[in-house]
Amino acid sequence: MNKAKLKVAIILCILFFAMFGCDPQSDQFEIRPGIREYTPLMSSTPGIPLMAVLSNDNQNTGYIFHWITEEGILLDWHEKDGIGRIEQLGKDVRIDQRKIYWTVDFEKEIAGEEFEVSLFIERKDSGEVLQKTSITIVQKEKGWFFVKQ
pLDDT at 63: 83
Torsion of CA 103, 60, 84, 105, to 10 degrees: -20
pLDDT tens-digit readout, 128-143: 998 999 999 999 888 8
pLDDT at 97: 87
Residues 34, 75: Cα–Cα separation, whole Å:
14
Question: Is pLDDT of 49 > 80?
Answer: yes
Do β-strands 144-148 and 114-123 pair in parallel, antiparallel, or remain unpaired? unpaired
Question: Is pLDDT of 24 > 60?
Answer: no
Question: Is pLDDT of 82 > 50?
Answer: yes
pLDDT at 44: 82
Torsion of CA 42, 87, 49, 114, to 10 degrees: 80
pLDDT at 14: 52
Who has greater pLDDT, 70 or 59?
70
Average pLDDT over residues 62-72: 93
Average pLDDT value for the chain: 83
pLDDT at 10: 62
pLDDT at 27: 56
Name the phi and psi angles at 24, rounded to 5.
-65, -15
Q: Find the range with the poorest average confidence among 52-61, 92-101, 105-114.
A: 52-61
Which residues, in sequence order, are bridge partners of residue 121? 65, 131
Residues 24, 132: Cα–Cα separation, whole Å:
11
Side-chain half-sphere exposure of 87, counting CA atoms within 13 A:
10
Question: Is pLDDT of 121 > 60?
Answer: yes
pLDDT tens-digit readout, 103-112: 999 899 887 8
